[in-house]
Structure 1
């Protein structure tokens, strides 16, 4: 059995390095290890290692949602690669839903079995004719991407991670951004219908329920049903939006009339404003211009994850 650990030592502002150091001390199997050194490196490492696979091989990611996004991007539609994760990020939304390894013993036990795996969907967004991105957890247009951009610039996440409260960095950035974000109008086309939303805060596209460090924004999302869920928050005051974010942790936000949920296998999203931010899996991917078609789809059974029987 071939196994590769892809380790992001910088994940969780150093948590990745600590987790890997502890993990490797308890490993008694043969393995290879590669360390990510720059943005996008995880995708390159995974793709290069997996490209000639003819039998099942296991990649274990030691990192957070961003590292998982990169590695899965490198092995999408490769039927021989199974993905496992040891959580080491700050938000860890992936680990809130998907099965992960907790220790070295679980990893070693798993590879001694038949390596049972589950086929899993991947979300995809096409930004006009220019940019194509996949997402494992979720993608977003508007306020959530705006928050993501500012988290990545802020020192607050670093200090919160140092004291074990990294997941609060998203909530803190939400509060700070409430008073500076400019709302926008949006049109969504799907299944021969066109829906208009005024004063939208964000449009979230989900492949699983969680985002933002534990907010269960899309409770009905399942990563194996061939569907993607769209959450539109619109026509709501700044103060009430703060209440929405509080209630998301308890799944009470679904009762707000200003939140619309859609489900399907593809959507076309048109933003009626300039310079609206976008993200995939918490990775800021840039701004879009007015009239850009954001084409969101789901690719069914696109990659393999370890099953719960390990």
Structure 2
């Protein structure tokens, strides 16, 4: 019998509930392979996280079954620990899996690749740490600057949406359409009344900048929305994030911009820019309540601070070269 001990966490609601069935299949396949499996699947993310943290130090790896949000939950649990993280794609968008060509149709093949990866050298990827940022609010109220280091952090592996893309994400999450269709539909609906946001940003400890932008996204993989390739050149293992911005596009031009993102041809649009960052603070100058989204899940209201955690997650995958196919 193998000495390997794997925690298994399936999202019971991902892909309309089918991920729960896939999770049972994965459990069976791992047991057949002679691996000790600890089932951590729970009715909600908070309970699953708590159960996983209780046994984390006894695990060789944590395998999650679901989409990008479930993968991010797994990353929160194992980040900056020796425990490795595996993924069996079973979500709606599966953008991390799409980025690196992981099979999103065959759980059997996904498990086979996980077992192979367990016997190979560790592959470490970057994570994005996100925390609330109340420094400006405290300054306006004349209070002492709070220490946010102890506040609960969240972790993302793909992207953090901070603008129009966050509004689209919020609307798409409530849609029953297919992943690509739900984003397309949400884009059309949000564009009806959309206006650029007045941001302030501080990049890598530099001076405050004021920018008016429609799209503001912090990227590690650069793919979201069921195959939208926002930053095709992004890597998850280079120790740096990419801040993607669209500024100066009218609504009609923004409508034409998004279909190009699926093909990756939008990078030639002059109003689109990408800059490398390692840490950022971002908020809105007018105090609008805008919620950030990370890997498809709702996160803190702006202002927030985010930073790259280089090599923080040991992933059970052979990443190779990012896929050039946005399907």
TM-score (norm 2): 0.81
* Equivalence map 1:222-261=2 (5 Å): 222-261=235-274
SS of residue paired to 1:67: helix
The question of whether the paired residues in 1 share the 8 Å contact of 2:6 and 2:38 is answered with yes
Q: Which runs of 5+ in 2 are unaligned?
A: 135-147, 320-327
Aligned to 1:64: 67
Contact 1:206 1:218 in 2 (8 A): yes
Q: Which string of whole-angstrom CA distances, capped at 9 and with x for unpartnered residues, describes residues 197-251 of structure 1?
A: 22x2121001112011110111221111110100111221111111111000111
Quote the Cα distance in structure 1 between the aligned partners of 2:132 and 2:53: 23
1:182 is displaced (CA, Å) by 3.6
Secondary structure, counterpart of 1:168 in structure 2: helix
Unaligned runs of 5+ in 1: none
The correspondence of residues 1-310 of structure 1 with structure 2, limited to 5 A, is 1-24=4-27, 26-27=29-30, 28-29=32-33, 30=35, 31-50=37-56, 52-53=57-58, 57-79=60-82, 81-98=83-100, 100=102, 102-104=106-108, 107=111, 110-111=114-115, 114-129=119-134, 132-152=153-173, 154=174, 156-157=175-176, 160=177, 165-190=178-203, 192=206, 194-198=208-212, 200-273=213-286, 274-288=288-302, 292=303, 294-308=304-318
Cα distance 1:95–1:49, how it changes in 2: closer, same or farther (>3 A)? same
Q: Report the CA distance shift for 1:109/1:62 in structure 2 as closer, same or farther (over 3 A).
A: closer
> Cα distance 1:91–1:82, how it changes in 2: closer, same or farther (>3 A)?
same
1:26 CA displacement: 4.5
Distance 1:116 1:96 in 2: 23
Q: What is the distance in 2 between the residues matched to 1:59 and 1:98? A: 19
1:26–1:125 distance in 2 versus 1, CA, 3 Å: closer
Q: Is the 8 A contact 2:96 2:158 kept in 1?
A: yes
Residue 90 of structure 1 deviates from its aligned partner by 0.4
Q: CA deviation at 1:109?
A: 6.8
Aligned residues: 292
Instruction: Determine helix, strand or coil for the equivalent of 2:22.
Output: helix
Paired residue for 2:142? none
- The structural deviation recorded for 1:167 is 3.4
User: 1 or 2, which has the higher strand percentage?
Assistant: 1
